Amino acid sequence: MQFHVRNYPRRRDIHWERAFADCLLLTSVSIPDSVTSIERAAFTNCPLLTSINIPNGMTFMAESLISGCKSLESVNIPDSVTSIGDYALANCHSLKSVSIPDSVTSIGNYAFTSCHSLKSVSIPDSLTSIGEGAFNFCKSLSSFHIPSKITSVSYKTFFNCHSLKSITFPSGVNSIGIQAFSGCTAMKDMVFLGISMPTCGDKALDMGKITVSVLSKFPDPSLAPGVTGNTKFVFSKLENKYTVTINPPAAGGSVMPSAGTHYINAGDDLKITAKPSEGYSFKCFYVDTVMVSDHPEYTIQRILSNTSVSAEFEKTPTTDVNCTVSYNASDGTALKPQKTVAGKVGTEVTEQALPIAGYVPDKQSKSLVLKVSGNEMTFVYSAVAPTDVNCTVSYKAADGTVLKPQKTVTGKVGSEITEIAPTVAGYVPDKQSKSLVLLASGNEIAFVYTPEASPAPAGDSAVLVIAVIAVVCLGAAGAAVWFFKFRKP
């Protein structure tokens, strides 16, 4: 069963609590961006729900909003959201990853508790508070970045996170709550960037009968048994700065920062960019001889030891290589046959999403810089109710000046619409026509116009129009012909 909130002009909220709670057959929900408020527990305990969009305009994810949705594997939190409420996504057992936008400043109590499959969480530095038990019983969570503005780790925040292996406490953290890390039996490393040990509540660091290596700027504080239980801590000195040695490439390109030794504050990040020379393409980065990335931009996060980095380039073949393009549902089912596109290594290819009735793609278009091998592009489609949505079409000059009024066209989600550029006197459009696969929200086609080229200036004697008129006068004296040239006045 699918549910779609129609885009009425006055529709601004879903204003009743538990509006669709315990809907056992509900599988997908589509909500337009005009909705800015949804009450608590609106979609709680919908066990078959696999797809829901949080409207881009909502600022607060209410308490227990989509908690207990055990089949939900992913959720997109728009950058309009500033706060995630208590239990908002609790007990979503299949949820694997979450990206929290920079707009969010607070996460409520038990917001992600018992998300057993949650492996990674992208946390913004804008975050200032994380509530009690926010990630407890997240058994698959292996790493977590505590933002620099956090000052305390609350009660049972990471309780029984059995896969959590390392954690770094920013310099501003001054307290660790009761049982905050109890049961984190896989913990191997902790780093304290502050100048003194935070105050700790009862069993705050009781992680079982394990040994944890600690880097800190302060000596071993001899933590009380009531704090650590059976966990043993081995403290080592954290230096103020560490070196990152960027090795000069053997051939084929350069890196920024430039090759050499760089001194980085303990716990800071360093972004490295590789730029290939003509006739070469970037291959990969190595950190301490281990290949870490094949993307030309790489960030070494939280530097806590002396490190070396190398960039490797390779000659660009002159022959074409292939890239496969796939169109799959979120469960991996192929919705359309794969296609193959060809191009030169180092060039960029861009593909548009194909329209598929009843589905919307994750992106309208995707681009890829071609490598020697392993080129693949996949559009992932989510099932949606085949309802009408709007698309705005605008006509502007390159400087943003509106040349014609915007218009709105309507079509079914997942269908393709095509618009033709209208004529604007004195201007030329960037394209004669543009197409778009309609998503649940955010549909827009923009034509950008540039002024027509002016005709080349003519001198005073230049002929503006030449008309040759032959007038034949027949008379006794014979034939006479006159030629007239009309010049620019």
> DSSP letters of 33-81?
TT--EE-TTTTTT-TT--EEB--TT--EE-TTTTTT-TT--EEE--TT-
Q: What percent of the chain has pLDDT over 70?
A: 89
Predicted confidence band of residue 230 (pLDDT cuts 50, 70, 90): very high
Locate 129 and state its tokens.
Answer: 């508070």
Q: Are 161 and 120 in contact (CB under 8 A)?
A: no
**151 alpha-carbon distance from chain centroid:** 27
Closest residue by Cα to residue 358 from 319, 326, 396, 386: 386
Closest residue by Cα to residue 345 from 301, 393, 282, 390: 282
Closest residue by Cα to residue 310 from 259, 276, 266, 269: 259
**Largest Cα–Cα distance in the chain?**
134
DSSP string, 213-267: EEEESS------HHHHTT-EEEEEEPPSEEEEEEPPPSSSEEEESPSEEEEEETT
Give the C-alpha separation, 82 to 103, whole Å: 5
Residue indicated by tokens 């001198």: 459
Comparing 104-108, 127-131, 180-184, 475-479, the range with the smallest average pLDDT is 475-479
Predicted confidence band of residue 469 (pLDDT cuts 50, 70, 90): very low
81-90, 317-326, 476-485, range with greatest mean pLDDT: 81-90
Query: What is the model's pLDDT at position 272?
Result: 96
Comparing 3-12, 62-71, 287-296, the range with the smallest average pLDDT is 3-12
67-71, 355-359, 367-371, range with greatest mean pLDDT: 67-71
Cα dihedral 469, 470, 471, 477 in deg (nearest 10): 150
Comparing 44-53, 277-286, 367-376, 475-484, the range with the smallest average pLDDT is 475-484
H/E stretch holding 304 reads none
Give the C-alpha separation, 292 to 180, whole Å: 32
Which amino acid, 191? V
What is the CA angle 85-140-113, rounded to 5? 25
Locate 449 and state its tokens.
Answer: 């116009």
Query: What is the model's pLDDT at position 320?
Result: 84
Q: Pairing mode, if any, of strands 334-344 and 320-329?
A: antiparallel
Query: What is the model's pLDDT at position 2?
Result: 52
162-166, 472-476, 479-483, range with greatest mean pLDDT: 162-166
Q: What is the mean pLDDT of residues 290-314?
A: 92
Predicted confidence band of residue 452 (pLDDT cuts 50, 70, 90): confident
pLDDT score of 284 more than 80: yes
Locate 243 and state its tokens.
Answer: 């070196």
Q: Pairing mode, if any, of strands 473-475 and 478-480?
A: antiparallel
Give the C-alpha separation, 103 to 152, whole Å: 20
List the helix and strand counts (H, then E) for the chain: 1, 41
pLDDT score of 27 more than 60: yes
Predicted confidence band of residue 281 (pLDDT cuts 50, 70, 90): confident
318-322, 353-357, 405-409, range with greatest mean pLDDT: 405-409
Which amino acid, 198? P
Domains of the chain: 241-315 (2.60.40), 321-378 (no CATH), 388-451 (2.60.40.4300)
Indicate whether this model's pTM tops 0.85: no
DSSP string, 438-476: --SS--EEEEEEEEPPPPPP--TT--S--------EEET
Q: What is the mean pLDDT of residues 51-70?
A: 91
Query: What is the model's pLDDT at position 454?
Result: 64
pLDDT, one tens digit per residue, over 380-403 is 988 776 778 889 999 999 888 999
Which of 99 and 272 is assigned the larger pLDDT? 272
pLDDT score of 250 more than 60: yes
Which amino acid, 402? V
Query: What is the model's pLDDT at position 332?
Result: 86
pLDDT score of 361 more than 90: no
Locate 110 and state its tokens.
Answer: 């038990």
Query: What is the model's pLDDT at position 122?
Result: 87
Q: What percent of the chain has pLDDT over 90?
A: 60
| Summary mean pLDDT of the chain | 86
Comparing 40-44, 180-184, 470-474, the range with the smallest average pLDDT is 470-474
Give the C-alpha separation, 6 to 410, whole Å: 13
Q: Pairing mode, if any, of strands 120-122 and 97-99?
A: parallel
116 by Cβ neighbours in 10 Å (0-12 / 13-18 / 19+) ranks as middle
Give the HSE-up count for residue 381: Cα atoms under 13 Å, Cβ half-sphere.
24
Give the C-alpha separation, 43 to 39, whole Å: 9
Query: What is the model's pLDDT at position 14?
Result: 55
